[in-house]
Amino acid sequence: MKPVKVGICGLGTVGGGTFNVLKRNADEIARRAGRKIVVEEIGARRENPAIDTKGTQMTSDVFAVATNPEIDIVVELIGGYDVALDLVMTAIENGKHVVTANKALIAEHGNEIFEAAQKKNVMVAFEAGVAGGIPIIKAIREGLSANRINWLAGIINGTGNFILTEMKEKGRDFDDVLKEAQELGYAEADPTFDVEGIDAAHKLTILSSIAFGIPLQFNKAYTEGISKITSEDVQYAEELGYRIKHLGISRRTDHGVELRVHPALIPEQALLANVNGVMNAVVVDGDAVGQTLYYGAGAGAEPTASAVVADLIDVVRTLTADRDNRVPHLAFHPGSLYDTPIAAIEQTETACYLRLSASEQPGTLAAITSILGEQGINIEAIIQKETSEQQVPVIILTQKVQEQKMNDAITAIEALAEINGSVTRIRVEQL
């Protein structure tokens, strides 16, 4: 059968990894795909000295790749929004299938991209955008297609998980570990995307859409980072039998689909609690299958390339399939999406961990518990730490409560004269 010709745009970490995997495993890939997959051209602003591209046509103009009539599939690995969007739309316009690892692009512009792709009868594959080498898009979109999905929860940012793991295992502070992560290359110079949860929210938006059959709605995601988690929180959580993880959670509820990224206490014996370092994992709960979990490297050159190349092989397999029988971009066929709304964070119900600093006066605890009682919040556990100072840390574990009620309670507690500073609130997920 005729080889399929691919153009790779971007020759950074993932682009280089993709080129190398396609070259190294060419024989196995051809035996699986039923034909050869050949890199016809690489578009990159600069060479990557670590990658031996000898013999492959190079251009510094990625748009030349997107319009090259020889090329069947364009692989977008340049990242970012503007040029990437332009490039992907140009490729689609020129009748090319697209494979991308760009979660930001898909989460924020996926709806328009898929609409254009549908019109031109081409596919846009994005497995590499979520959880690196873990085939989580495929698992949800195809492997669990019999299920009505109830919820999913995942550790989908390796940088954040590395930081929380180090804080837990070595008692280190957030800032200290972040600096090391930056030196190791796990975190960017501007770590906002990773530690404030934006990257995780991009990925969660995609997972949520394919799980629940709803359009991508990144702008409605609730996003909270881990930069305010202290080593004391990690320590107290451990005393209570929990670990703190930065989770993306999407859940079907009566008031809509929850879409939220925030730190959470999870039971220490949960498999997710034991996913450490830069690794990723996602739990999916379906009505027929129950809970399944998917674990692996969430980033890195070759793990991400593994997903890019798997997508290439998938696209190659469906080149001759008619559009209506392909796996739909968002798992459900266009026109068959649901209009379930995204639930407001204030409607979420979770148990909570609260940490506050209170003056050691008689009546302080009574004042706090009375405020919680007024909001109908039941207390699961309360720990008042011994200290030589006048201000003592108080840790409270509540039962499930609606977010809005907890917000009101926290505002009232913070207004108490006996309370010093603000109340730390971390949600608790039993999974």
CB of 134 to its own copies, least distance (A): 6
Q: Which 8-state DSSP code applies to residue 241?
A: T
CB atoms within 10 A of CB 258: 22
174 or 294, CB closer to its own copies?
294
- Tokens 């119900």 identify what position? 349
How many residues touch its own copies (CB under 8 A)?
74
Q: Give min distance, CB of 111 to its own copies, in A.
A: 17
309 counts as binding its own copies under rule CB under 8 A:
yes
CB nearer to its own copies: pick between 28 and 389:
28
Q: Which of residues 195-234 bind its own copies (CB under 8 A)?
A: 213
328 lies in the site for its own copies, by CB under 8 A = yes
For every residue of 321-366, DSSP letters joined together read S-GGGSPPTTSSPTT----PPBPPGGG-EEEEEEEEEEE--TTHHH
Indicate whether 50 belongs to the interface with its own copies (CB under 8 A).
Answer: no
Candidate list 38, 293, 344, 367; residue touching its own copies; CB under 8 A = 293
Q: How far is the CB of 339 from its own copies (least distance, A)?
A: 13
- C-alpha 143/C-alpha 148 separation (Å) is 12
Name residue, tokens 């997959």: 37
Q: Is 287 in the site for its own copies (CB under 8 A)?
A: yes
| Residue listed under structure tokens 């930001």 | 104
Residues in contact with its own copies, shown as a per-residue x/- string from 124 to 143 under the rule CB under 8 A: ---x----xxxx--xx--xx
Catalytic residues: 203
Segment lying near its own copies (by CB under 8 A), choices 96-104, 165-173, 223-231, 329-337: 329-337
Does position 56 interact with its own copies (CB under 8 A)? The reply is no
Question: Quick one: which of 217, 318, 359, 404 contacts its own copies (CB under 8 A)?
Answer: 318
Which amino acid does the sequence have at 307? A
CA distance 327 to 318: 9
Q: Which of 241, 277, 290, 376 binds its own copies (CB under 8 A)?
A: 290
4 vs 401, beta carbon nearer its own copies: 4
174, containing H or E segment: helix 174-184
Nearest 5°: the CA angle 171, 175, 177 is 55
Strands (E) across 48-183 are located at 57-59, 73-76, 97-100, 124-125, 149-155
Site string for its own copies, 24-43 (x = CB under 8 A): xx--xxxxxxx---------
Q: Give, in order, the Cα–Cα distances in Å from 267 to each of 69, 200, 291.
A: 54, 21, 16
Q: How far apart (Å, rounded) are the C-alpha atoms in residues 3 and 8?
A: 16
- From candidates 5, 23, 120, 326, binder to its own copies by CB under 8 A: 326
Interatomic CA distance for residues 39 and 70, integer angstroms: 11
- Please say which residue, 276 or 407, places its beta carbon nearer to its own copies: 276
Closest approach, Cβ 296 to its own copies, in A, equals 3
User: Of residues 246-275, which lie at the interface with its own copies (CB under 8 A)?
Assistant: 269, 271, 274-275
Q: Site for its own copies (CB under 8 A): which residue of 189, 325, 362, 421?
A: 325
CA 193 – CA 166 distance, rounded (Å): 19
Query: Of the candidates 428, 155, 151, 150, which has an alpha carbon nearest to the alpha carbon of residue 274?
Result: 155
Smallest gap from residue 206 Cβ to its own copies (A): 16
- Which are the contacts of 154, defined by CB distance < 8 A and separation ≥ 6? 131, 136, 203, 204, 207, 247, 248, 272, 280, 281, 282, 283
Q: Is 401 helix (H, G, I), strand (E, B) or coil?
A: strand
Q: Considering the complex, what minimum distance in angstroms separates the CB of residue 210 from its own copies?
A: 10
Residue 320 within binding range of its own copies, rule CB under 8 A: yes
Among 183, 190, 324, 339, binds its own copies (CB under 8 A): 324
Which residue among 10, 16, 17, 197 contacts its own copies (CB under 8 A)? 17
Q: Are 152 and 283 in contact (CB under 8 A)?
A: yes
CB of 327 to its own copies, least distance (A): 7
At closest approach, how far in Å is the CB of 27 from its own copies? 9
Q: Which amino acid is at 279?
A: M
